[in-house]
Amino acid sequence: MSIVYFRHTPDRSKIGGYFDEDDGHIYINGRASKVRQSLIIAHESQHKKCFDTKCKCWNSRNVYWCEYHAFRAELKYVAKKDKVRLWQAYFRSVINDLRKFQSKETAYPQHFQALVKVCRLRLFGLYAQKYGNIFAIATAVKRIKL
């Protein structure tokens, strides 16, 4: 698997990363922090895995399920590392994503629903109580109904 770091691609400047199924590479925003990059790599690697293994989500072009698999992979990655600072960064990143997906300019309703589904996983709740800001997470989840 090759990871390509980008910095100056105008149309992609705001996104954290993406998987390009045409060349099989994972593209990561080189301007993101190292912790953020590791989360993005976990996310995009799952998209690649779903593509490589012909996962149902990818074959049916079901964005909701593709994103659910990718966001769940982020959680699993963090759980495997189990480092306090990574957990804290992860929960900040989740809140940020939940807000982003609900804002007018960057509205991604299916990404939002998929991430909410991850927030409802037992594993998520367990660690969110330990290392996350439960109130901020709950607020971000319930802010707007899509």
Q: Which is nearer to Zn ion, 70 or 86 (CB)?
A: 70
Per-residue x/- track, 56-85, Zn ion (CB under 5 A): -x-----------xx---------------
Q: Cβ-count burial of 122 within 10 angstroms (0-12 exposed, 13-18 middle, 19+ buried)?
A: exposed
Options 26, 39, 41, 50; binder of Zn ion; rule CB under 5 A: 50
Phi, psi (rounded to 5 degrees) for 3: -110, 130
| 51 SS3 class | helix
CA-based nearest residue to 46, from 127, 114, 123: 114
The region of 48-56, 72-80, 97-105, 116-124 touching Zn ion under the rule CB under 5 A is 48-56
Residues at the contact surface with Zn ion, assessed by CB under 5 A: 50, 55, 57, 69-70
